[in-house]
Structure 1
Amino acid sequence: MIDDEQHRNQAVTVCHWYYEEGLGQSAIARRLNVSRPTVSRLLAFARQEGLVRVLITDPQADLQSLARKLKVAFGLREVRLAYDSTGDEDAIRDKLGAVTADYLAEIVGDHDRLGISWGRTLKAVADHLRPNEHKDVSVVQLKGSVSASDFNNYAADIALKFGMAFGTTTTVLPLPVIFDNALTRDIVLKDRFIDEIVRQGERTDIAVFTCGTVRDDAMLFKLGYLSRREITMLQHKAVGDVLSRFIAADGSIADDGIDARTVGIQLDRLRKKPCSILVAGGPSKIASMRAALLGGYANVLITDSQAAMRLLEE
């Protein structure tokens, strides 16, 4: 007869082999020179006696909990999260693109008016869009799309793919997003054709946009709109941009002069949208995401799990 202490010790040994070393019950039975049902009973005994606890980590459950906390913290109507443990920004963009495309498939209906921005994140969204059968959906760019350099802002590709997915032709805003001076911008915006496109953007029901950074490799700094002096100034005053309008840490406009030269809908219009979707993630965008949320520019957030935790911690 084996006494209780020996039985417990044997059960613990079996648990080490089974749970830590990954041995199967048959292999353990051969080691102990017992039957496989005996090993099974030892494992059951260990669980009953609390010698081993099985912890199931459910990423989906964790994401749901994070999403609920973010909704409360920032007063959002919806949060969708993509699980990520790598911190790789290219991979994160692709995941966010897939999640956003799925979300748009859920919410876009007949006669909806969809406003879009451009950049690498929106390209990932466009790459994942699937054709749908909704009727009379319109798509319009929310900000100027003409680049002042050879650096690709993906605006044309995004406009094409959104148009194809929703069975329409995307209305583009064929202007630089930042002019050299406010006077020139104001004159151009008085054009009847341009004014109507801007108004179409203001009338959209759903806005899909991202936020940028003020790092040296920020896309807006690569497109030729800003001088080196202006970039240095913005790196001190701003944490990023929303629809190419630079914002401070509290979400306010960082520089009125540059904002007056910017082409696109005003940020306060985003606050009034029935659905304004901020799609952003990765370590570099935490500060600008937080500022955009504090500014109230989004009522829907789509981000990655690590960024979600950072937003809650800060």
Structure 2
Amino acid sequence: MKHDLRIIGYITFTIFILLWINQLFSGIKLYETVKTRWQTHMDSIIASIIPPYVEILQTDSVQEQTHLLSSLDSALHSKTPDAVHFTIARLDSTHQAIVKFQNYKTRTSDITRGKIYPINNPSHESLAIYYNFPISFFLERAWQDILTIVALTLLLVLGLQYLSHAQQHLSRLQEEMIKQVVHDWKTPLASIVTLSELVEKKSIPEDDEKGRAKIRLIQEEASRLKTSSQQLLKTLSGLAHLNINRDEFNLKNELLSLFEKQYLAYYQANKNSTSKKGYGLGLNYVYNVIKAHKGKITVDSLLGKGCTFTIYLRKWKKK
């Protein structure tokens, strides 16, 4: 169930990301469209106001230029919203500013240059008007798209938080269930060990080697089960706060030692029954340990031949 929830989370996350990217590109495209319309609108306003001023500039003296540009700025503001600001410049033949007028401070990157209007004087000068694109103008026309992007972002964040909480909750339930099962084993195991010792002393003759061997087998299996349950609890508590202490060692020797000491503690009950299925806890522990090492594990399975598990760990260099 935890694995299925993770897959659902990945799919949901991908869908939300695609929707968010699609909405973002739609917002960018809408911004460019609204800005183009704004420029067309502003150019038409400027074209209706500027001709008389261009005619005056053809004969006006340099001393009167600043006053004239200020008057043009006032005329432009009378036809446009308060959020619009202008920079008016008289340009030479190379389009370098000779005289510039603006009643506010702004960066060049924040304004757009409109059409250039030739003055038709011997110096081939021209007049250029720069204006900004008010964000309020865009918001009035794109507030629904912006709200959609914000809503998708909030849903994405809340969805990820919910999936993370759900996975943590399932992990806690699984851990608590296993702890409860192991705890419930203690009393029956203690009873089995006690009864087997009592049977060995009271009911089996000294010369009955087969009977004593069976009793010892019961005791060994009970002891193995007790050890396994303790290791299980230790593993559960260790995985929650697993600290990796990196050190050099001989991997081959360590693996051989494990096989020699514990290869018979690793088996599945009812192994001759094809209908018996395990709980997959061993692989879950392996996965968590490898994940703590920031590695990965893969499996190749062939029916009737067995499985090959491959573990990939990052190369570590001793400092």
Taking structure 1 as the reference length, the TM-score comes to 0.27
Q: Which structure is higher in helix share? A: 2
TM-score, length of structure 2 as denominator length: 0.27
Q: Which has the larger radius of gyration?
A: 2
